[in-house]
Amino acid sequence: MRAAERMPQQPDAAANDANTADDAPDAPEWKLAHHTTPHHTVDVTGNHQTMTNEHAASTAATLHQWLLDLDGP
């Protein structure tokens, strides 16, 4: 799970940050994953603080759906 927005103290993002694929060569550094194991990234509304406060309900719903999807059809 990854916050879709930068934390407020981060420098302003380029206008196309939100529309740049995570694995695109021009993806901003803050959107790049730095792990080598297979994984699935799910973006949620907010930054790392607001995703668990103001956006807690939608974060929980996204997590719940992701867990359901792990079980398969």
Domain boundary assignment for the chain: 2-70
Residue 35 — pLDDT band, cuts 50, 70, 90? low
Overall average pLDDT of the 39-48 stretch: 87
Mean pLDDT across the chain: 75
Across 53-63, average pLDDT: 95
Token readout for 27 is 């993806």
Scanning 1-73, the segments in alpha helix (DSSP H) are: 56-70
Question: What are the pLDDT digits (tens) for 16-33?
Answer: 445 445 555 566 665 565
Evaluate if pTM is beyond 0.75: no
- pLDDT for the residue numbered 16: 44
Return the SS3 of 33: coil
Angle (CA) 6-45-52 rounded to 5° is 85
pLDDT at residue 26, as a whole number: 60
Alpha carbons 58 and 34: distance in angstroms, whole number: 25
Specify whether the CB–CB gap between 47 and 5 falls below 8 A.
yes
Strand-pairing partners, residue 64, are none
